[in-house]
Amino acid sequence: MRNLLSTRRTAAVSIAGVALALVATGPATAGDGTGQGGSNQIGSRVDFNRSSPGSGETSPMTPIGGSWSPPVCWYEPRYTPDQMDDYVHENFNAEHHATASISELVTDDSTFDLRKDKEGLWWQLVYQDDGVTAEACPATKSFMFVGPEEPAEPNTRVIDPETLAALAYNETELPAPPVDLKPNAARQVVNLETLAVLDPAELQRVWVTAYIDPPGMGRIAATTVATPQRLRLEAGTEYADPNVCEYDLVRKGGGFAVDTEDAGCNITYRKSSGGGTYELQASLTWNVNWNATESPDGTPVHEDFPDGQSTTEIPVTVKEIQTVVR
């Protein structure tokens, strides 16, 4: 288990709209991966569990369409009222803010109080990374109290299963398509079909669970699942006919497979690659869904997460068949 939000930070404290720096040194890490960071921790407490995508190289999932992006900021449950009192006194130097009460330093609300007589938690604003601008994250308060009598403010993104699912999507890494060619990539022949095989043992679904354990609350979790659906091969040269072929994957032996021997489409090179190679591109399309549990087998929620893609390039050497004349 790893915590991959270790560089994320919370918003600087403001008073009457003016940013004030924390006395505590710099952005803190997000803890040791257990979701239980130290008392001065100001990073996200979201943790991740993930499946093993195999022994090969992986890369971040590319959303198909290009318009999707992860949340840039959100509020997380952080402190009980008593813990909030401790946090304020431990992390702010009252001597340097003599013109304002300590309680005013944690929000831009001059009527703020610790809510010690109320049921609920203090939620803290967290940024997805250090490059987030005020324009991208319009939230202004570093902290927000949420309880039965004080729901979260309207149009405010708070950590919930949907937000966790989006964070899990952003952390998903996919394997490169484990394609075997027949003949192999170094021995392709002009006018001979290029067959492709995917071993189901090398290609399985990929999932990431994001979760958080707020104080005094049950665990909040969501799991994002990517399932391979389709293989696309592009010849990498105009000297091939057909130039592009696509294949639907079939579930087999716990994984997903393709064998194009009897397919109606197989790339066929019509000219040798000379002294070089053609770069055949193989790409997998992955269907993505999520559910509000810690299991990849939970009931999927039908939201507008885009399909994902993973791609690899295979150098292909194509030669002419040599005819021996006797």
Residues 107, 92: Cα–Cα separation, whole Å: 13
The highest-confidence range among 7-21, 69-83, 208-222, 225-239, by mean pLDDT, is: 225-239
130 and 210 both lie in a single domain: no
> Does residue 59 lie in a domain region?
no
**pLDDT at position 10:** 40
Residues 323, 215: Cα–Cα separation, whole Å: 77
Give the up-direction half-sphere exposure of residue 108: CA atoms within 13 A in the CB hemisphere: 12
pLDDT band at 1 (very low <50, low <70, confident <90, very high): very low
188 and 273 both lie in a single domain: yes
> Does residue 126 lie in a domain region?
yes
Residues 323, 320: Cα–Cα separation, whole Å: 9
Whether the Cβ atoms of residue 83 and residue 14 lie closer than 8 Å to each other: no
Question: Average pLDDT of 166-184?
Answer: 95
297 in the Ramachandran plot: left (φ > 0), alpha (ψ -120 to 50) or beta? Answer: alpha
pLDDT one-digit tens code per residue, 294-322 = 999 999 987 779 999 999 999 999 999 86
| DSSP-H helix ranges across the chain | 81-91, 161-171
Whether the Cβ atoms of residue 219 and residue 164 lie closer than 8 Å to each other: no
pLDDT band at 8 (very low <50, low <70, confident <90, very high): very low
**pLDDT at position 137:** 83
Supply the pTM of this predicted model.
0.80
Question: Average pLDDT of 123-140?
Answer: 79
Residues 317, 276: Cα–Cα separation, whole Å: 7
100 and 228 both lie in a single domain: no
pLDDT one-digit tens code per residue, 47-83 = 999 998 766 789 999 999 877 888 999 999 999 999 9
**pLDDT at position 39:** 29
**pLDDT at position 109:** 53
- Give me the number of domains the chain comprises: 2
**pLDDT at position 62:** 92
**pLDDT at position 97:** 52
Q: Is 133's pLDDT higher than 50?
A: yes
The highest-confidence range among 128-132, 151-155, 192-196, by mean pLDDT, is: 192-196
> Does residue 3 lie in a domain region?
no
> Does residue 170 lie in a domain region?
no
Looking at every residue in the chain, the average pLDDT score rounds to 81
Residues 300, 161: Cα–Cα separation, whole Å: 12
Question: Average pLDDT of 101-129?
Answer: 73
118 and 228 both lie in a single domain: no
pLDDT band at 98 (very low <50, low <70, confident <90, very high): very low
231 and 106 both lie in a single domain: no
pLDDT band at 114 (very low <50, low <70, confident <90, very high): confident
Whether the Cβ atoms of residue 197 and residue 260 lie closer than 8 Å to each other: yes
**pLDDT at position 32:** 32
> Does residue 37 lie in a domain region?
yes
**pLDDT at position 198:** 94
**At 190, which CATH number?**
2.60.40
**pLDDT at position 90:** 78
Whether the Cβ atoms of residue 79 and residue 215 lie closer than 8 Å to each other: yes
> Does residue 264 lie in a domain region?
yes
Q: Is 22's pLDDT higher than 60?
A: no
Which strand (E) or helix (H) includes residue 15? strand 13-15
Q: Is 25's pLDDT higher than 80?
A: no
> Does residue 324 lie in a domain region?
no
Whether the Cβ atoms of residue 124 and residue 142 lie closer than 8 Å to each other: yes
- Where in the sequence is the domain holding 138, given as residue range(s)? 13-45+72-156
Amino acid at 170: N
* Structure tokens given for 89: 């006194």
pLDDT band at 272 (very low <50, low <70, confident <90, very high): very high
90 and 186 both lie in a single domain: no
Q: Is 284's pLDDT higher than 60?
A: yes
Question: Average pLDDT of 110-121?
Answer: 78
> Does residue 22 lie in a domain region?
yes
Residues 132, 44: Cα–Cα separation, whole Å: 14
Whether the Cβ atoms of residue 268 and residue 242 lie closer than 8 Å to each other: yes
186 and 248 both lie in a single domain: yes
Q: Is 99's pLDDT higher than 80?
A: no
Contacts 24+ apart (CB under 8 A), 130-139: 130/7, 130/8, 130/9, 130/27, 132/72, 132/73, 136/72, 136/73, 137/11, 137/72, 137/73, 139/11, 139/73, 139/75
pLDDT one-digit tens code per residue, 151-174 = 988 888 899 999 999 999 999 999
Q: Is 279's pLDDT higher than 80?
A: yes
pLDDT one-digit tens code per residue, 29-39 = 233 333 332 22
266 and 139 both lie in a single domain: no
**pLDDT at position 29:** 25
